[in-house]
Structure 1
Amino acid sequence: MGGPLNKDEIVSYLANSTLPTLVVEGRDDMSFLRPIEKQIKGLDILVADGKDAALHVLDSIDNIECPIAILVDLDFWSIDGIPPQYEGRPRLIVTDGYSIENDLIRDANLFELLHGPEIDRFHRAALLLSKWFACCRFSKNFSKDRPWNARIKKVISLEDLSYEKTALTFMTIFSVEPERASYIFDNFHKFFRGKSLKSLYQLFFSTPNRQPNLEVGSLMAGAWVGNGAFVTRIRTEIRDILLSN
């Protein structure tokens, strides 16, 4: 595995390669994918410079015959639907949730590790975040400002389960229909930004005096080598594509 490559560098590399190759959209996916290198002999994993670059590669490899799979996160396709030009495309694998983190968190059953009053507090935090996330997604400045990348602690206070000032101001300006927020809340583990969901769980699991304190990254890594439904589907599709020739 190397560092991120731009779309043209990847296409040029693939045109001169015979190795089974998996293209991923970012470096964050790499640690979870390492075990699959042992399952596919000679596997080459290339890191693209983002989702758009990975999709450009997909659009440019029709005449390249070496086994290639492209893995991308759904991101907001999880809410909006996959664009028609990518629905059912050969060589393309997409996560079930917003990102691979969402799939790993669900396979790791992190919610089941909450206990006692944590469960109600987590639901209340998720409801606050769902309303904010809906405002982010459906605001007029959706593609410009990327407010959904804000850290959890910049959005809500877990101490009193209320919005921080900046998030509250944003939501006052960009209101959203209640049914849109409810839709995200009902599917929170699938639709909410994966890195933020991971951070939310880590905040709960590392609360002072909590027993036991848990490390979310380790639990997610364990899920990748487990037999959860979401991860199993991704692994199976990677193998089916790359070992079909």
Structure 2
Amino acid sequence: MPSAQTAKAQPTVDELIAVLKRTALPTVVCEGDDDLIVYRRLEDQLRHLGVSVLSAGGRENVLQIFNRRSEIPSSVRLAFIADRDTWINTAVPAAYVSPLLCLTSGYSIENDVIADGKLESLLVGAEVSTYKEQLELFLEWYALALSRHLTNPSDPIAYHPKYVLNSKERPSLMALRFGETYPTIMRETLSTKYGTLVRGKSLLLLLLHNLNTRDGLPRYTDKALLEIVAANPGELLTKITNAVASVFAP
């Protein structure tokens, strides 16, 4: 018998489409639970339009529903929000360039939150230099991992920063494969625009790793920072809200 603590199963894409076929509300389809922390605020900001937000359980599900939107009656008003993901490093495919699909300005919603909230400014004193040193080490690996990932998506870019920085793991992570050269130009580009181009969840985890080393001071969580910034959105979160509003505007 399943435990009462068992997590609720995520509906399938088919089930989500069935729900959307029956709704009478203007609906925003977004990725997942962390995104909802931000986008529930969007619901409040657009309450005059009666907007509802639906979690699809991941980016691929959002894109699948977007691709199958013709199965949903045209009377159902829909907008979609997704992380730009590695399209930030390449380009948005033509099939996904649409006013109905609102993409984050940076790699993910975490990038936009970090920028809007100026979260790096939470670091003080020696934390700043330690964070920058760790960031440079992380970017050195990320450039190599990303160059591989863009060729073969099964190559991971989502390792936890603490794993990447671990002195025992790092030599194997940084070892070049046969015939491979280190992507120096990509590394330089990432260093210049890491806040936009690098996976935001990784950046937020690295920031938290440095913020939460303070003795006697409150500890931060990623979800708390997302909610704090969402409550006082800056330019990038406002841009998403405005893009959604334009879809549903009378």
**TM-score, scaled relative to structure 1:** 0.86
Equivalences for residues 10-49 of structure 1 within 5 A: 10-41=16-47, 42-49=50-57
**1:22 is paired with a residue of what secondary structure?**
strand
Aligned to 1:226: 232
* Greater mean alpha carbon deviation, residues 92-101 or residues 77-86: 77-86
* Greater mean alpha carbon deviation, residues 108-117 or residues 223-232: 108-117
Deviation, 1:199, is 0.9
Whether the 8 Å contact between 2:40 and 2:53 is mirrored in structure 1 is: no
**1:69 is paired with a residue of what secondary structure?**
strand
Whether the 8 Å contact between 1:69 and 1:93 is mirrored in structure 2 is: yes
Deviation, 1:176, is 2.3
Of all paired residues, the percent bearing the same amino acid is: 26
Structure 2 unaligned segments of length 5 or more: list them: 1-7
Aligned to 1:149: 158
d(CA) in 1 for partners of 2:30, 2:9 = 11
Aligned to 1:176: 182
In structure 2, do the counterparts of structure 1 residues 215 and 53 end up closer, same or farther at CA, with 3 Å as the change threshold?
closer
In structure 2, do the counterparts of structure 1 residues 217 and 46 end up closer, same or farther at CA, with 3 Å as the change threshold?
closer
Equivalences for residues 88-127 of structure 1 within 5 A: 89-127=98-136
Aligned to 1:161: none
* Greater mean alpha carbon deviation, residues 167-176 or residues 15-24: 167-176
Deviation, 1:213, is 5.5
d(CA) in 2 for partners of 1:66, 1:221 = 29
d(CA) in 2 for partners of 1:50, 1:220 = 17
Deviation, 1:171, is 1.6
Whether the 8 Å contact between 2:110 and 2:204 is mirrored in structure 1 is: yes
d(CA) in 1 for partners of 2:32, 2:130 = 33
Structure 1 unaligned segments of length 5 or more: list them: 158-163
d(CA) in 2 for partners of 1:94, 1:170 = 31
Deviation, 1:154, is 0.7
Query: In the alignment, residue 179 of structure 1 is paired with which amino acid?
Result: I
Whether the 8 Å contact between 2:37 and 2:226 is mirrored in structure 1 is: no
d(CA) in 1 for partners of 2:93, 2:63 = 12
**1:105 is paired with a residue of what secondary structure?**
helix
In structure 2, do the counterparts of structure 1 residues 227 and 144 end up closer, same or farther at CA, with 3 Å as the change threshold?
closer
Q: Does 1:167 align with 2:167?
A: no
> How many correspondences in the alignment?
235
Q: Does 1:239 align with 2:242?
A: no
d(CA) in 2 for partners of 1:77, 1:150 = 19
**1:115 is paired with a residue of what secondary structure?**
coil
Deviation, 1:181, is 0.9
In structure 2, do the counterparts of structure 1 residues 79 and 31 end up closer, same or farther at CA, with 3 Å as the change threshold?
same
1:209 aligned to which of 200, 215, 229 = 215
